[in-house]
Each structure stands twice: as C-alpha cells, then as structure tokens.
C-alpha cells in the first residue's frame, strides 16, 4: 500500500488548500533538521516536503486522490486520464530544503543557514560558524525637511512609515503602517539626527534596523543661517553706503526691526544685532545674533557734473 500524504501532514482528505499550507508550516518548522535533532526528524522532514509538493498542486492531488501513490508515480494510461489528471509518472525532486525555502520565501526562519545562492552553510561544534547569532540590520536614514520657522519655534512632526512586522504565529509577516512622532526642539541644527531604535522591518532571523531622521533645513526667503546666527543681506545704494540710512528687517517671529546705520558701509562692513538670531537647543532662552550684510549697488554711469561734484565732496 502506498503512503498516505494526508496522514503525513496530519490532516483529513477534506482539508482545504489553506489547511494544507497551515499544516505544512507547523510541521516543517517542527521537524526541520536545524531545530529538531531527534532520530527520524530528517526523514519526517522529507516526507512532509513530498506530501506538500503533491497536495498543494491541484493536478497531482487529483491524480493521487483517485489512483493513490502507485498511480501518481507509475503514470496514468491515457484512457484513464480525465479532469486534468496527471498522466505522467510523478517523481519527487528529492530536496526538502527547496520546498521549505519556496514555501517560506523571505520569511524563512532558517535563512541564516544558507548562503546567497541557497547552499547550506556547514555547522561546527561551536554552532553555525558565527552566523547563528542574530545581527541588527543596517540603520535606515531618511531626510527630515524643516522650515527655518520650525527650527526657530520648535514643532511636532508626524512621520508615517510602512514596515514588515511578524504575525502572531511567529513565522509569517505582513506590512503595516506606523506613525512616528518627532518633537523638534527650538534651535536644532542642520544634520541633527533623531533615532527610533528597532523600528525597521521585523524578521525571524534579524534585529530590526534603527530608523534615523536627519534634519535638512529648507531655504528661507530672507535669512541664511550660520549655526546660532541669522544672516540678512540688505540692498543699498552708494549714496546710502556713504551718508547713512536705516534698514528694516522682519524677524522670524513677525517683529519689524529698524536698525540705524551711521557708519560708512565698505565691502567688509557688517552690522551685528545681538540676541536676534536662533535659539540654542541646549538653552532656548539664549539666542544668537542677527548679522546684516550689505550689497551696494553702484550707478552705471555719471554725468560730468556729478563726477565733478563727487570729486569736490570726496576731496580731502
């Protein structure tokens, strides 16, 4: 009498495709040679693979249900073949690990036992040649683009991520969304790194990666930033550079500063307004400076009379 594939998978003949998959998952994990060193486990593991290979294929299963193992492996005469039944003799490929890897795919709980090309890694008495210990996946880095106002006041950013998480059975996984909350502190600098530990993809053979968000400051229409200081560039005429003027600057918090400039503005000149820059992340009540640079626009041409007057005015 031929073997009973249903008995091998511990299911009855009315089992659905889902029942077959569930049974194979449970028993293959139980009798896998890397988790079960009991006598007979390897043979049992092979029987499970062959049973699943047959019962998970509709044509093979139809032939087996009608003609048994003998008919399945011996081949069915053309006059007996019907309803898509398998008409040639079935031969199991003989590699239970192949069936196992195809079934579990990326969720293979014994993936660390194999090289990239699927060959099994040897085992020493000390264990799996250094590969049995779980290793953490490399960190995942993402840019966090923030406006200068966000870094001035501070804010909360909600970041949605999609990651693979293990299901309750401990073997399969699914993709789920998660919201990560980032509390941006006033004064954070470009390049600040915010780490969420082990929020990457979960897997049976690895430690989830850390997710790291890196602050990237968006360009601002009025200011450039240098650490704790804000840089503002004012456009002025040559007349203003030589005779004095007042420059108006709208701050990040909406105030309008009027700063008198009584000095002669040469190309190296800048005006420092203390305490009007960015807050310090370590001490938000302390602020850097506002530094005003000037871009002087020279006249494109002068009349002879204006040149004469300028020479007269600038003569020492």
Tell which residue, 229, 219, 138, 156, has the closest CA to residue 187. Answer: 229
Tell which residue, 101, 74, 105, 106, has the closest CA to residue 87. Answer: 74
- Residue ranges per structural domain of the chain: 5-56+95-113, 136-217, 223-314
Instruction: Please state the rounded mean pLDDT for residues 289-303.
Output: 93
pLDDT tens digits, residue range 136-155? 889 999 999 999 999 999 99
Strands (DSSP E) contained in 48-154 are 135-136, 140-146
pLDDT tens digits, residue range 194-244? 999 999 988 877 889 999 999 999 999 999 999 999 999 999 999 999 999
Domain 136-217 has CATH 2.30.30.90: no
Type and span of the H or E element at 22 = helix 17-31
Residues 100 and 34 sit within 8 Å (Cβ to Cβ) = no
pTM of this prediction?
0.56
Above pLDDT 90, what percent of the chain? 52
| CATH T-level topology, domain 223-314 | HSP40/DNAj peptide-binding domain (2.60.260)
How many angstroms separate the CA atoms of 153 and 172, rounded? 44
| CATH T-level topology, domain 5-56+95-113 | Helix Hairpins (1.10.287)
R_g of the chain, CA atoms, integer Å: 37
Strands (DSSP E) contained in 58-208 are 135-136, 140-146, 155-166, 173-184, 193-196, 206-207
Tell which residue, 67, 71, 72, 230, has the closest CA to residue 151. Answer: 230
- The band of 3, judged by pLDDT with boundaries at 50, 70 and 90, is confident
How many angstroms separate the CA atoms of 221 and 282, rounded? 27
Residue 279 has pLDDT above 90, yes or no: yes
How many angstroms separate the CA atoms of 250 and 271, rounded? 15
Same-fold call for 5-56+95-113 versus 136-217: no
């Amino acid at each position: 009498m031929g073997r009973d594939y249903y008995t091998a998978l511990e299911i009855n003949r009315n089992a659905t495709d889902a029942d077959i998959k569930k049974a194979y998952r449970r028993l293959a994990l139980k009798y896998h040679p890397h988790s079960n060193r009991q006598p007979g486990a390897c043979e049992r593991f092979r029987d499970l693979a062959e049973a699943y290979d047959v019962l998970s294929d509709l044509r093979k299963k139809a032939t087996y249900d009608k003609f048994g193992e003998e008919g399945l492996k011996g081949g069915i005469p053309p006059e007996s073949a019907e309803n898509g039944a398998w008409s040639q003799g079935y031969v199991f490929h003989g590699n239970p690990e192949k069936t196992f890897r195809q079934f579990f795919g990326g969720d293979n709980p014994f993936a660390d036992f194999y090289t990239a090309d699927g060959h099994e890694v040897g085992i020493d008495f000390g264990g799996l040649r250094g590969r049995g210990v779980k290793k953490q996946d490399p960190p995942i880095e993402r840019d966090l683009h923030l406006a200068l106002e966000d870094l001035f006041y501070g804010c909360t950013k909600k970041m949605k991520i999609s990651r693979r998480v293990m299901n309750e059975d401990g073997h399969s996984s699914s993709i789920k969304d998660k919201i990560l909350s980032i509390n941006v502190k006033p004064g954070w600098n470009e390049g600040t790194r915010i780490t969420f530990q082990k929020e990457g993809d979960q897997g049976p053979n690895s430690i989830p990666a850390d997710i790291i968000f890196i602050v990237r400051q968006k360009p601002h229409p009025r200011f450039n930033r240098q650490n704790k200081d804000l840089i503002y560039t004012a456009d002025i005429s040559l007349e203003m550079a030589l005779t004095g003027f007042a420059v108006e600057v709208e701050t990040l918090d909406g105030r309008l500063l009027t700063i008198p400039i009584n000095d002669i503005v040469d190309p190296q000149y800048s005006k420092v307004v203390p305490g009007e820059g960015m807050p310090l992340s370590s001490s938000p009540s302390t602020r850097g400076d506002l530094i005003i640079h000037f871009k002087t626009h020279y006249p494109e041409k002068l009349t002879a009379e204006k040149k004469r007057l300028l020479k007269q005015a600038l003569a020492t």
